[in-house]
Structure 1
């Protein structure tokens, strides 16, 4: 018993002094190694993220991307680059299977007196339509642009619908009569052409 007590005494002294025993040190070693080996969480990569759009064109930033529609074998497409530098740039094409009917270069830009939709159609002089009104009706939101004069069209309306739909209405006078054409578009993936509900 005395011998056992003598052997136990150093351990008791270590415990009383707060020093770790060899057995305790051996038990703690794997835990320390596990702590060292645990991988650190990778920092979040925010290099490719863009801040939310701001400025007078921000309400139209949703147009960014590719849009496609088709009526009576006539395909129409629009592509808009993202809002950058207070400008949105786009292009549209209206085509039959055998030929292109029309194409336009587009841009949305702020000017001193408001926001403008500017189009250059098949090499003609550019036409500028000023944003005249914005209307929200439930999930739909309509942006109407107008210009003076009598040359068709005198008004353009972009209506953002639910489920990835876009309706572009072109209106004005043609041969002395009111004329209106509506182009229904769906948002599509720019590479695959698959419809996107967004």
Structure 2
């Protein structure tokens, strides 16, 4: 049976950005818009290990988690027809960043520290890096450190005070622009 080719700007898209910017929610909707599969990297790791991310951090440490993350990124980068939503620190790892930037367009999502805090407070136990006295200051410091790395993405979109559909439409349009600029 012949495969029906659907016009789309990419068959593999990675979403990066700080925790709480909306990568999972935007990723699910972007995958629908592009008719691609969706994988949230943290959920993928949890399913493979049978352990929650906070428990991995608590019992095995961040280094063990980052190793699992690198393995999962290498594996998933070999797939096609996929929107991959990363954890906030995944793209910071130089090996992950190289693999993903070479694989296909990377989209960085952005939000203000205040918006991030508001969103992350909805599920505080799921954010091991924010288990500190002043989470807003921690967000600002981490975001400042990670901003140069997130800037390496091919496409950028803000999610601050915007509807998911609006952000997805902007990303699709920018992906088409990126595709036209990079295809021979």
Into which bin does the TM-score normalised by the smaller protein fall? under 0.3
> TM-score normalized by structure 1?
0.25
Higher strand share: 1
> Which structure has the larger Rg over C-alpha atoms?
1
Does 1 or 2 have the higher relative contact order (CA < 8 Å, sep 6+)?
2
> TM-score normalized by structure 2?
0.26
Higher helix share: 2
